[in-house]
Amino acid sequence: MIKANRHSPEAGFTLIEIMVAVAIMVIISLLLWQSTAVIMTAKMRYEVEDIRFQEALMALTRISDDLSMAYLYQSQEHLGVSGIGEKLALIQFIGKGGGEQDTLNFSSLSNLHYIKDRKESEQAEVSYFLRQTESEDEEHTGFDLVKRVQSPPDNEPEEGGVQYVVLENVKGLKFQYYDRDREEWRREWDSSSLDFNRKLPRAVVITLVVPDPIEPDLDRTFTTTALLEMAPGPNDF
C-alpha cells in the first residue's frame, strides 16, 4: 500500500493546524473590532465636543457683536424728552460683578428687524446674564445664558423687553472693562457714576465657562475681547 505524503498536494490539514488558524483569525478579528470601537467612540466624542464648543464660540461672538455697537449720548437732548420734561429713554452702560455670574446692561445699535412694520429701531437695550435652568430636579444647579432686548429703549434700561436663551448649561459669565484714562481693567462699570460719567469702556473681555459635554466635572473656559467702536481713544492696552 502506498501512503500519501503529508506534504504532497494530496495531503490535507491536520485538526491542530485548523484550530490554530481559526484561533489566529479570531484574535485578528477581535483586535480589528476593538480598534474600530475605539475609533468610533473617539469620533463621537470629538463630534459632541465640537458641537458644544461651537455653540459657546457663537455665544461669545453674539455678545461681542452687540458690544461693538454699544453707544452713549453726551447730552440729554438726544435722549428724548416729553413735553413735561420726562425722559423718554435712558441710555446707560452698566456692568455689575457677581462672582462667576456677572450681568451687563447697555444700549446698542445692533437690533435687527425680523417683523415688518413693527415698532422697533436699530437702537435697543441689551442685557446679558445667567438664569438658573428650569428643572424638576432640585439638585440641578445649571444656568442658561440669557439675552434681553428692548427696542426702542425706554427710561428703564434694566427692565422690560423680550428674553431668550442664547446658550444652555453654563457655569460662569464674567466681564472685565478697560478704563483708558487709568489704563487698567475694571470688574464693574456704570456710566451714570462719577468715575465713568457718560463714558464707555474702550474694550470688554468676555469669559464664558461651560462644562465639558463628556466629562461634566471638567470646566471649559472661552474668552474673547470686544472693542467698543464708539468709545474714544486709541487701542492702548
- pLDDT score of 77 more than 50: no
Higher pLDDT, 64 or 159: 64
Query: Given this model, what pLDDT does residue 10 score?
Result: 57
pLDDT at 103: 95
For residue 70, the 8-state DSSP code is: B
**Which tops the pLDDT comparison, 224 or 8?**
224
What is the per-residue pLDDT across 20-59, written as a single tens digit (0 to 9) for each?
888 888 888 888 887 777 777 766 767 778 888 899 999 9
CB 202 within 8 A of CB 233: yes
**Residue-wise pLDDT tens digits, 125-137:** 999 999 988 765 5
What is the rounded CA–CA span in Å between residue 201 and residue 180?
7
Report the range of poorest mean pLDDT among 1-10, 33-42, 44-53, 67-76. 1-10
Tell me the three cell numbers of residue 86: 420726562
**CA–CA distance, 166 with 144 (Å, rounded to integer):** 7
Q: What is the DSSP letter of 64?
A: H
Domains in the chain: boundaries: 48-227
Q: pLDDT digits over 184-215, tens only?
A: 999 999 998 888 888 999 999 999 999 988 88
Residue 165 dihedral angles phi and psi, to the nearest 5°: -80, 125
pLDDT at 140 over 70: no
Q: What is the mean pLDDT of the chain?
A: 81
State pTM to two decimals.
0.75
At residue 87, does pLDDT exceed 70?
Answer: no
Please give the residue that has the higher pLDDT: either 95 or 81: 95
Q: What pLDDT does 63 receive?
A: 97
SS3 210: strand
